A = this chain, B = another copy of it.
């Protein structure tokens, strides 16, 4: 069984990006520039954005953090998005989610010019990915594709079973694994209403769990020799930890891991990849031509 090390892979990718940036600067180019809009003071969002800013430093990017209090109006945010769309000094930007309830998230996302939408959340980018056009792919599915590639896991013609049909993971994952230019797999998407779930999972060469139900995937759902990708990260109470909780994936790692050819741990698997994929998208925003 090979443990897929997302932390090490993400570090490698950031170093590759930093190297590319040094090359761009040596060639007389400008530093890639990522902006982030952060609304309010949600603890999780603060941490995520701080980590993104830090990753920008590691990669040699310029970063700009734009803060608003939680009482910002929808129109103020839209105006800022339009300003960033038109600001040639900024290559890409994100709006950190979730937003306060009085703001229509979808409306904000749709205001972003898809050519700067490095989160890949706008309908245009989602559609372009589905059609197979150049696009920004959102961080989690992109990170999983990168792990499969870097660990030389064969996907073409293989059966990939995805549990979960979210807009953030399950659906784009299916699109990527399906297409000839990406995974070229046979793809099955399962969800809460699926009949014979265990039976279907057992046919998977690659099993991707993204439902947010701790230890949902048990050993009897996994074919020996399968690759298992665990996207779940649920906080479960753990009295032995100082924090009082630990992160638990969707996979019963202890019993599933011995069966697998490859498996991602939680934490340290898919999670660490996401920010490096945002950095890769920002670099793509600089180098793209569409």
Q: Which residues of A contact B (CB under 8 A)?
A: 106, 122-128, 130-133, 156-159, 165, 167, 171, 174-175, 178-180, 184, 186-191, 193-196, 200
Residues of B within 8 A of A106 (CB): 133
Complex contact B190–A189 (CB within 8 A): no
A interface, by DSSP: helix, strand, loop or mixed? mixed
Taking A157-B194, A159-B200 as known contacts, 4 extra A-B pairs with beta carbons closer than 8 A to each other, sorted by chain A number, are A125-B127, A127-B127, A186-B188, A186-B193
Query: In the assembled complex, which residues on chain B have CB atoms less than 8 Å from the CB atom of A131?
Result: 123, 126, 167
Q: How far is the CB of A113 from chain B (nearest CB, A)?
A: 13
For A184, list chain B residues within 8 Å (CB). Answer: 193
Contact assessment for A186 and B186 in the assembled complex, using a CB-CB cutoff below 8 Å: no
CB distance from A187 to the nearest CB of B (A): 5
- A178-B167 Cα distance, complex, nearest whole Å: 12
Given that A123-B127, A125-B127, A130-B171 are known contacts, is A178 also in contact with B194, CB under 8 Å in the complex? no
A175 touches B171 (CB 8 A): yes
Given the complex of chains A and B, what is the CA–CA distance between A127 and B190 in angstroms?
21
Q: Decide if A157 touches B122 in the complex (CB within 8 Å).
A: no
**A157, closest chain B residue (CB):** B193
A119 CB, min distance to chain B CBs, angstroms: 13
* Chain B nearest CB, measured from A57 CB (Å): 32
> Chain B contacts of A132 at CB under 8 A?
167
Name the distance in Å between A70's Cβ and chain B's nearest Cβ.
Answer: 26
